[in-house]
Amino acid sequence: MAYISQQSSVTPVPVRIGLIGSGWMGAFHAESVARRVPGAALAAIADPNIESAQNLALQLGTAKVTASAEDIFADPEIDAVVIASPARFHSPLIAQAAAAGKHVFCEKPAGQSLAELDAALAAVEQAGVHFQIGFNRRYADGFRAAKEDLAAGAAGTPQLLRSLTRDPGTGSIPNAARVPAWTIFLETLIHDFDTLNWFNEGAEPTEVYAVADALVEPSLRDQGFLDTAVVTIRYSNGAIAVAEANFSALYGYDVRGEVFGSKGMVQAGRTTETEARRYTAEGLSADTPRLNVELFRQAYTDELADFAASVRAKRDGGTSPSSDITLTPGAADARRALAMALACIESVKSGAPVAVAEKAAV
């Protein structure tokens, strides 16, 4: 063999991540960390459903498995956690992780009341750890490009904004999705709220008026499960925004944003895969994207890559990732969007507009 002696290439220690919650979303994040995020490693998986955790670990070659997140917090070989548990545990887990000195990536919503979220964010603040919330749309090509256009002034001062989410479905709501009553605001529209806040950066949401109903599955109306909602939002700069959601789009996952302002309009997102188009005797047809992990696959990877880079910078003393635009969603973004979702719930209950402020628990 005549290979030339290679200079020692000191590969940096990867960011060692512990996953908390190995459900559908957690499993997808784990796969991203293990296979698609450079400089990161999936070091451990915690889930009370230990079998679920073990299966995922086996599939991804992860060494450590536990039923208790405590083990991960106590593990000195873990740098950071990805929290993908049920939403009701998010705020407590953020607080515990921060107290243990772990950097935190948490799925949305970061909490279910402003009180518990404030406690968690105070722990983050005190520990000085990095905190990121899973508003992945900021990382989607189209939304990021739109944000760049907006930052460059393409639309001028925003006057009218729109963000919509239509989840893929079959025209009825499966049992599994039925449990949490206010899911449409706390888990779905919270994405749209963040998009609108981000697109209208510098302004604060001041008032919401929300209308919601069970139109996909009217039989669930009595149990409080709402599948369709429209929210009008006033901002401190006068801009008026509309957020809209529905849980059963037969044509697949549909996420779009639009900002109209004094100079023009910027649009993000699309419902068509324009990549391949068919023209037949029936006219034009084309496929539409079906799942969020199809449409936003790259965004899911990029948000974790940004997280890993931020953690590495904190851990190793380097520079944080930077961008021409505001990108990484953090504590203030998590809180602002939650406050809007909570105000929406109150608005639906009262049938009147509600100021966005220090809301109490649900």
Q: Is 324 helix (H, G, I), strand (E, B) or coil?
A: coil
Distances, alpha carbon 103 to alpha carbons 120, 164, 300, 329, 356, in Å: 13, 31, 18, 14, 29
Residue from 9, 352, 295, 334 nearest 139 by CA: 295
- Please select the residue that binds a copy of itself; options are 23, 52, 54, 327, rule is CB under 8 A: 54
**Cβ nearer to a copy of itself, comparing 58 with 122:** 58
Q: Which is nearer to a copy of itself, 54 or 113 (CB)?
A: 54
Binding mask 95-114 for a copy of itself (x = CB under 8 A): --------------------
**Which CB atom, from 87 or from 243, has the smaller least distance to a copy of itself?**
243
Query: Least distance from C-beta 112 to a copy of itself, angstroms?
Result: 25
List CB contacts of 275: < 8 A, sequence separation 6 or more: none
Report the residue from 17, 27, 69, 75 that binds a copy of itself according to the rule CB under 8 A. 75
Q: Whole-angstrom Cα distance, residue 151 to residue 328?
A: 15
Question: At 133, is the secondary structure helix, strand, or coil?
Answer: strand
Smallest distance from a copy of itself to CB 141, Å: 5
Residue 274 interacting with a copy of itself (CB under 8 A) = yes
Q: Considering the complex, state which of residue 122 and residue 152 has its C-beta at the smaller distance from a copy of itself.
A: 152
The yes or no reply on residue 118 touching a copy of itself (CB under 8 A) is: no
Interacting residues with a copy of itself between 203 and 222 (CB under 8 A): 209, 211, 213, 215-216, 218
Residues between 275 and 314 that touch a copy of itself (CB under 8 A): 275-288
Options 13, 63, 291, 357; binder of a copy of itself; rule CB under 8 A: 63
The rounded radius of gyration (Å) of the Cα atoms in the chain is: 21
Q: What is the smallest separation between the CB atom of 115 and a copy of itself, expressed in angstroms?
A: 28
End-to-end Cα spacing for the chain: 69
The two structure tokens encoding residue 92: 């407590």
Token digits of residue 1: 């063999």
**3-class SS at 287?**
coil
Footprint of a copy of itself on residues 123-182 (CB under 8 A)?
A: 141-143, 145-146, 148-149, 154-157, 159-160, 162, 166, 171
Distance CA 208, CA 212 (A): 13
Cα–Cα–Cα angle for 120, 247, 26, rounded to 5 degrees:
45
Question: Token digits for 78?
Answer: 């873990």
Binding to a copy of itself, residues 221-240 (CB under 8 A)? 228-230, 232, 234, 238-240
Nearer to a copy of itself, 188 or 246 (CB): 246
Among residues 220, 265, 355, 362, the one that binds a copy of itself under rule CB under 8 A: 265
| Smaller CB separation from a copy of itself, 68 or 126 | 68
Contact status: 85 vs a copy of itself (CB under 8 A): no
- Cα separation of 103 and 131, whole Å? 6
Q: State residue 165 phi and psi, 5-degree precision.
A: -130, 120
